[in-house]
Amino acid sequence: MSTCPHISANSYNISSNSYNISSNSYNISANSYNISSNSYNISSNSYNISSNSYNISSNSYNISSNSYNISSNSYNISSNSYNISSNSYNISANSYNISANSYNISSNSYNISSNSYNISANSYNISSNSYNISSNSYNISSNSYNISANSYNISANSYNISSNSYNISSNSYNISSNSYNISSNSYNISSNSYNISANSYNISSNSYNISSNSYNISSNSYNISSNSYNISSNSYNISSNSYNISSNSYNISANSYNISANSYNISSNSYNISSNSYNISSNSYNISSNSYNISANSYNISSNSYNISSNSYNISANSYNISASIYGISVSLYSISACHYNMCAAPATSQLALTIIN
């Protein structure tokens, strides 16, 4: 039987109950809830939830086929188990503290805006959902995520992300105008599609395994330091970004890159680069104190500006087409073997003698 209760201005302490809730309509506002050690099966309900306070711990939830409008609530959520599927959520202007929960989330639709989240020590399995996420603030730490086959539109959010583990596959992302501080995370990223524009990133001390993704990256700002990257079989279109890259380790193989109109400051990194294809044009590079092992790549390089100093290069079996680029090269050591060069209109300024071993 369908009911339509209006619940407001109450205080509830709810513990150790079992609930089966279906086909109801709820308007819930200005209540206070302490909810612990209950079991819930919730399906086919409609909820309007606003201006409530919730303390939720040690419950079990099976939530399916509900509709939620959730605004201006305060949530403290810990040590619960959630199975969430086929729901529709509109979530705005809430405050969440979420810790030590287990989530299985699939086939839901989310519109999430103007919320504040503190998320720690949770486990998430997230698949086949649709997310529109804007103007939220996130502090995310020490969680485990398995994320697959979701669609994300993410804009104008602020993220502090640390000490998490991510397995990310077969998702679609549109990411714009966000601010990210990302540190000490582990990422396995495969078979995703990314459109990334006008974001700001501070990325440090992370580990990345990145394969078989497609990236369109434009007009972002990146500060990248002390990370480890294994990058293979991806496709990149990179334009009009600003990069400060230092003290990272890169293994890069079998990728395709189109790189144009970016600005790079690159120092004290280690690179192993093999079997990639590069089209590089109209970029500005300041490159110093890096170590490069470069083999079996194909390069088309035009109209770039390079300042290169104090690097070490081992270069073998690459193919280069270089035109209309300007090189300022000082105090670098080159070992070059079995490469093919076509060079035209490429002036170089040598400030100190180069050692070239052929």
Cα separation, 131 vs 151, whole angstroms: 6
Reported confidence tier of residue 350, pLDDT bands at 50, 70, 90: very low
Q: pLDDT tens across 4-37, in order?
A: 678 999 999 999 999 999 999 999 999 999 999 9
Amino acid 10: pLDDT:
94
Cα separation, 299 vs 280, whole angstroms: 7
Amino acid 141: pLDDT:
98
Q: Over range 268-297, report the average pLDDT.
A: 97
Q: pLDDT tens across 298-345, in order?
A: 999 999 999 999 999 999 999 999 997 888 888 677 788 878 778 765
DSSP 183-241: ES-EEEEES-EEEEES-EEEEES-EEEEES-EEEEES-EEEEES-EEEEES-EEEEES-
Q: pLDDT tens across 87-111, in order?
A: 999 999 999 999 999 999 999 999 9
Cα separation, 330 vs 198, whole angstroms: 34
Q: Over range 203-217, report the average pLDDT.
A: 98
Contacts with 240 (C-beta within 8 Å, 6 or more apart), sequence order? 218, 219, 260, 261, 262
Amino acid 334: pLDDT:
79
| Residues 27 and 48: beta-carbon distance below 8 Å | yes
pTM of the model: 0.94
Cα separation, 302 vs 346, whole angstroms: 9
Closest Cα to residue 18, out of 44, 38, 37?
Answer: 38
Amino acid 339: pLDDT:
80
Q: Over range 187-199, report the average pLDDT.
A: 99
Is the pLDDT confidence value at 357 over 50? no
Q: What are the phi and psi torsion angles at 146 (to 5°)?
A: -115, 115
Is the pLDDT confidence value at 219 over 80? yes
